[in-house]
Amino acid sequence: MVHVSDLLAVAPGHLDEVRRRVLDDYGPVMTELDVQLVHTWINPAVELIDRPTELLLLWQFPDVAAFWRARRMAAADARVLAFWDAVTPVLASRERKVLCDPEDTTVLR
């Protein structure tokens, strides 16, 4: 199994908008690609009014092949491009990490 964490530093006043777009616009496309949103968190535990609030999204892929398939298909999907075009102006930064269990023998090393 492969996980991807997206850390979005959301500008003050835009957290609800970005969360809504993740759930309504981006999430359904990911579901079509066999990707599941398994957790969302904010850091700190309240929305900040004077600096960005971090929104952490944890996505789950059934296997390595699903990760690469979803990545390839998402890169060509107009809905995914529209999502990132819409949220990027209200992000101070974004970071993505691809994660796996080091004991998972199905993951290539």
Gap between the Cα atoms of 108 and 89, Å rounded: 36
Global pTM value? 0.91
Among 30-34, 47-51, 64-68, 101-105, name the one with the lowest average pLDDT.
101-105
The whole-number pLDDT of residue 17 equals: 98
pLDDT band at 109 (very low <50, low <70, confident <90, very high): low
- Indicate the DSSP class of residue 88: G
Q: Which of these, 30, 29, 52, 40, lies nearest to 5 by C-alpha position? A: 40
The chain-wide mean pLDDT, for the chain, equals 95
Task: Record the tokens describing residue 92, joined without a space.
Answer: 């101070």
Which stretches of the chain are DSSP H helices?
15-21, 27-32, 64-75, 78-87
The predicted-structure confidence for 17-54, as pLDDT tens digits, reads as follows 999 999 999 999 999 999 999 999 999 999 999 999 99
- What domains sit in the chain, N to C, each tagged with a CATH number? 2-100 (3.30.70.100)
